[in-house]
Structure 1
């Protein structure tokens, strides 16, 4: 094939916004139900709803939920663990009313929780069915008013097969998660934490004898994050803890000391932004299969019964869930740098992979797929002291096009949300949308990111808006100094917490960025502290400082108070129903920049919450951002895509 020359950014590409959304799914949790495997699919083409799919041993797949039903919970706003399954029966929270439903084979969904006092006021998540199948324990989030202080999180118990009034088992803590019943049904374990902690800061793992009421604090407390409690058949309790800096695996047996199961300098856990993470799976023969994050890449390994730790030879670089699947096998949701996530069964003895739900066949030439390179580079902390930061770098890639010899590609500095998230080295059509056009992309794991241990995760405490910005600037300058990107065409983009970092990086007189894209980001930290949902309502106490005592710091770091420094063009994209970062955050910065005369574009998407789920909105957001860069950086859009230009005021 002939390689033709064309300016970077303007390359025609098969990775259009239509391809990004066409037949796209967001694979979520997976469960094994006897010989069947059930998984969740978020479908942009169906308005972003979550469908549940059952696969039988003969390979037949069946959509379980009727049209108009959406297995999605609003607990913590971010949701997760909205459904669970046993013996062919599925229980799920429906997005429309947030009630819990039971769906038996061949039947229709039947509500098993009462009508709430007001619409969507009672929300359910993270359930566990009792061993006898008669009851369920789960998290209930009850909204009794309009503010974060009117939200109450509890562990409740209810009948598994008919409508009943839930019984409150645990109340008092600000937050609860992961209620799990022992194999004999006699012990309840759960996680709890209080403001201002987040679940990756300080949590408690508590076990209660349901007959006597006696409680034991198993693990956790100040300086320890505990995740994913899971009972074993003998009644011992497995859990993840970062007590040694890394989220490793431990076992507690009543009456005995806690013993380490997997100890290594890698994170097995992930921050609990959503319920239902599953990063390890005990097998019937005593082995444990686990995912572990190390040096910017996920892997799968097994703890043998003799104590040995063996890495499995699987092609995955990002693993979303691990579930035991019969003797000697696990089912995983996993992807690689050249394949989107799929559902796969892995034979633990041989590492053989059977694909149960294949990722999309994108039809891309391998030469046109940009693969990530893990970078570690020099940066600084808030005092200017030297430290190291990390990123995933994607160079431009095309099977048909190359840039002029005397030109370097523009760079998109991409910032993940959280801010305790991580740059995930898995094939993303959104990243390839940019790299296949001639952009370079660097996905920054700034200080505060997950995957490098607790100490690195805590570098952001008190430093949000400082260290994250420093690391993004350092990544861009590092690549420019190496001659891998054009230092005059550095751009920055991010969503949620990444949107805040984008704005903070642009609100600098010495900003190296030529333009930025803010997806539902924070412009005013004080306004966010006063107007957000319960889960994050005290998050800034540790990232910035307690409010209003630290009012000066909030003002100093809020981009809205430094509009005079904004000179570079900005595009802002926002969901109209966002409860996490409300639209007023976007509108205040847009209005200020319009009044100042700084180039700015703004798109508000009806029907979207925190993150875009509808195919038409995902497409418009991508194409509008590309149109924005084309106007700002001065390159032509591929005419064959028919992209509608975005209006940039003051340009």
Structure 2
């Protein structure tokens, strides 16, 4: 699962070279910039101790920009913006470690890195977000756009005369309500003639891009679906109307779900029924032509007009950096996330399912049956079920081959990855089901998914577990406390006390609860009544907690409060803390410890003997008899 495995974060093209960012668990999660030249040689461009990753919005993303062979990157340890010149020299462009930089583009003519800056010099919770121009010779920087709470996607037109960007204000998140603006760029880089192009009134706009002929395109959910639109001759129009989402929520910077092969051809991805597809769009006729592919997941799509590169994966293939010629030649894998090969006989192939949920509605999920040719279940015994509640909570379950899921199915568990109401990929209306209903709709859908499979006789209704991380950890805890469906659970850096999160979290998410629960403190009673920590008397099953001690998004006290309450209640509880880890585990040994620890926990509370030795984790209140 972790050794020899890397995680891709971004892929880019520059000239004839292809670049990608990879995170290496074996190096403590360090992110590095890699370059592949046309002759097939691959080189690491950011050696130790550099870590090409940023902290803007805490989730980061978009840490790297490349132009003419020079690599501009944010460094995680000191937050400085660096440049690696074509001769290999690396030097800092900024000096203040309380400034953070992301989502930049290079303005060659003016010698500027233009991107998002997050200023923490005065406060973390009230950090100031702006669009800035940093001189690429390291001589200083200046603010170009300010005044709103957040900015993203600053994008220069091909001739450098116009800048487009997306902005929004509290209490909105970028999938709620954003605005698209443009400005004229003067010779010295200053901006004028600001114009609001689209957005507001509950419309989410993402990913503005300028076509080769200078037309501004963007993605908007004005029609209920995130479709590609454009602003041309003073009018906005949909390029290809479709009941599908062409992007996903903007949690991290650096998204690129479409690009231009030429002025009349877009290469893009879209998601429908839980699966992603690749397609071309004729911008003149609006015709969309799906491209047959072995992959079911696509991200970070870029093209130079001759070739297309993207991150791709499928139920039988690990994530990889993939290149395809626009003439339709067979895709070529440039870099695999792992050299590991697994006999397909051991792989559980997922299938999309839908099931009834509350109020006569339908919810969705991706279901994996237990699969291992070396073992046969006892006659008449049905498998335990592990329900996964994804984070976000606007994220979505993925069908890409995941050893974390195959870990369970190869050990006899069935797995249901639930796309509960609020998930992406089913339109704005489905995403909005969670507004004001967090802790209700998601909990109902996870519970009903488990009950649906148990009723069908596919799983053991007395061995139902649920697990999730971050917001998914909250859904896990809420499901265990407020419903009597699951028999065990595991929370990874999950929320348990919503009022604490509303008052102590970072700026990006500090008003997120307004839409999920209601404005605080006006809706204080809702926060209280949806917080699992206050209702541990309703909890009657074992729970394991896994927590990074350096987590700034969900502080450790969120888990520790719950653990202490369960200890006092006398329920089996485990708490495994990881020093040096933040919101999501990056170190190989910690990823393995958590995964094995969760399996060990279920083996003890469900009463089965693992087929392999697993280092135990401490479990309080476990009846040894």
**TM-score normalized with structure 1 length:** 0.93
Match of 1:10 in 2: none
The offset of 1:251, in angstroms, is 1.3
Aligned residue pairs: how many?
617
Pick from 190, 195, 202 the counterpart of residue 170 of structure 2.
195
The offset of 1:180, in angstroms, is 1.0
Equivalent residue runs for 1:247-266 within 5 Å:
247-253=226-232, 255-266=233-244
Greater CA drift, 541-550 or 280-289: 280-289
Equivalent residue runs for 1:230-309 within 5 Å:
230-253=209-232, 255-284=233-262, 286-304=264-282, 306-309=285-288
Greater CA drift, 575-584 or 181-190: 181-190
The 3-state SS of whatever aligns with 2:412 is: coil
CA distance in 2, matches of 1:188, 1:338: 41
Q: List per-residue Cα deviations over 1:338-375 (Å, max 9, x = no partner).
A: 01110111234436211111342433111110111101
Pick from 362, 368, 377 the counterpart of residue 394 of structure 1.
368
Match of 1:372 in 2: 350
Match of 2:107 in 1: 130
CA distance in 1, matches of 2:503, 2:176: 22
Q: Does 2:29 correspond to 1:61?
A: no
The higher-RCO structure (CA 8 Å, 6+ apart) is 1
Q: Does 2:102 correspond to 1:121?
A: no
The offset of 1:133, in angstroms, is 6.0
Match of 1:14 in 2: none
Q: Does 2:133 correspond to 1:152?
A: no
CA distance in 2, matches of 1:131, 1:180: 13
| RMSD across aligned positions (CA) | 1.2
The offset of 1:325, in angstroms, is 3.5
Match of 1:315 in 2: 294
Match of 2:153 in 1: 178
CA distance in 1, matches of 2:468, 2:379: 30
Q: Does 2:403 correspond to 1:425?
A: no
The offset of 1:105, in angstroms, is 2.2
Instruction: Give 5+ residue unaligned stretches, structure 2.
Output: none
The offset of 1:285, in angstroms, is 5.2
The 3-state SS of whatever aligns with 1:213 is: strand
- Structure 1 stretches of at least 4 aligned residues deviating more than 6 Å after TM superposition: none
The 3-state SS of whatever aligns with 1:243 is: coil
Match of 1:338 in 2: 316
Q: List per-residue Cα deviations over 1:558-582 (Å, max 9, x = no partner).
A: 0001011111000000000000000
CA distance in 1, matches of 2:108, 2:219: 23
CA distance in 2, matches of 1:152, 1:285: 37
Pick from 93, 106, 111 the counterpart of residue 112 of structure 1.
93
Q: List per-residue Cα deviations over 1:153-179 (Å, max 9, x = no partner).
A: 00001212x212211011110000111
Does the CA-based 8 Å contact 2:246-2:270 persist in structure 1? yes
Match of 1:648 in 2: 619
The 3-state SS of whatever aligns with 1:536 is: coil
The offset of 1:131, in angstroms, is 4.4
CA distance in 2, matches of 1:105, 1:131: 15
Match of 1:352 in 2: 330
Does the CA-based 8 Å contact 1:313-1:351 persist in structure 2? no
**TM-score normalized with structure 2 length:** 0.97
Greater CA drift, 402-411 or 534-543: 402-411
Q: List per-residue Cα deviations over 1:275-315 (Å, max 9, x = no partner).
A: 01010011125210110000110010001354321110111
The 3-state SS of whatever aligns with 2:292 is: coil
Does the CA-based 8 Å contact 1:339-1:359 persist in structure 2? no
CA distance in 1, matches of 2:504, 2:71: 36
Greater CA drift, 82-91 or 361-370: 361-370
